[in-house]
Amino acid sequence: MSQFSGALQLTDLDDFITPSQDCIKPVEIKRKPGKVGKLRVEDDGSYTEISHEGEETRLEKPKITLNDCLACSGCITSAESVLISQQSQDELYRVLKENILQTGQSSQEKLVVLSISPQARASVAAKFKLSAQATARKLTSFFKSLGVHYVFDAAFANNFSLIESCLEFEKRYKASETTKNSLPMLASACPGEIMNSERRTKANSQVWLVGTVNSSITQEGRLPTL
């Protein structure tokens, strides 16, 4: 039985790219005047163009470059599929089991931190007809009983990011009276937005407008170290 939701399942009929596969990019077919021909898909996945006269031309295999891909880790690529497999339910249980075997050996024990989003908590609460607070308490008790060291509410770190973003905007607003390019301020938790600003804009004009506050996910990762 799959340990992932339907949106994250890696099957043979989906848009995911496993490490053994090439990045899928449509073959570019140059349209030129002439009679209609046809394409033949070879056993190795390549394409052969067959003209009306029967002449065969092997089409060049497409290659993806940094100009085509933002490499933002925001989509399910080969690297992401590996990350997903390492963060499955089975992987969590494996780490928790190893921690039990390493009890008393702090150097070998892994720190397990779990973050619960408000959406996930609300979904569980609706399923079992519980209040949000009761659901949070039960989930925290359950995960800690499994050996999880820390259980955080994702909204907590999100509030940190919002507060810091407000303070940065206030600072930029005051500086805009004497400094150019202070406003507008762009804010996003998507790494693809940063990549887009760096690679796709003229002279990187947007980079200086992007807020410097870390995303809520980054803030969440730093909480156990405080």
Domain boundary among 148, 164, 191: 148
Domain-embedded: residue 53: no
The answer to the question of residue 51 being in a domain is: no
Mean pLDDT by 10 residues, the chain (226 residues): 50 44 50 64 73 76 54 49 66 86 73 88 93 93 91 87 91 86 80 67 66 81 73
pLDDT of residue 81: 57
| Residue 157 burial by Cβ neighbours in a 10 Å radius (0-12, 13-18, 19+) | buried
Q: What is the pLDDT of residue 13?
A: 40
- Regarding whether 136 and 168 lie in a shared domain, the answer is no
Cβ(148)–Cβ(114) under 8 Å? yes
One domain, residues 106 and 163? no
Kindly state whether residue 45 falls inside one of the protein's structural domains. no
pLDDT of residue 48: 80
Indicate whether 118 and 174 sit together in one domain: no
Q: And the tokens for 157?
A: 């770190």
> What pLDDT sits at residue 30?
58
Residue 18 lies in a domain: no
Q: Are residues 162 and 134 located together in one domain of the fold?
A: no
Q: Output DSSP code: residue 32.
A: -
Does some domain include residue 139?
Answer: yes
Supply the pLDDT for residue 226. 66
Q: Note the pLDDT of residue 161.
A: 86
CB 82 within 8 A of CB 18: no
209 occurs within a structural domain:
yes
Q: Find the domain containing 195 and state its range.
A: 156-225
Question: In sequence order, what are the residues at sequence separation of 6 or more whose Cβ sits closer than 8 angstroms to the Cβ of residue 181?
Answer: 208, 209
- Tokens standing for residue 197: 């600003």
Q: What is the pTM of this model?
A: 0.53
- Do 139 and 162 share a domain, yes or no? no
Verify that 143 and 116 share a domain, yes or no: yes
Task: Choose one of 129, 148, 167: the last residue of a domain.
Answer: 148
Q: What is the pLDDT of residue 126?
A: 94
Measured between alpha carbons, how far apart are the two ends of the chain, in Å?
38
**pLDDT in the model for residue 62:** 56
The two tokens of residue 167 are 């303070």
Which domain-ending residue is among 107, 131, 148? 148
Q: Is residue 214 part of a domain?
A: yes
Number of domains comprising the chain: 2
- Does 160 share its domain with 143? no
Give all strands (DSSP E) within 51-143, no chain letters: 56-58, 113-116
Is 204 within the bounds of a domain?
yes
**C-alpha to C-alpha distance for 172 and 162, rounded to whole angstroms:** 15
Same domain, 162 and 212: yes
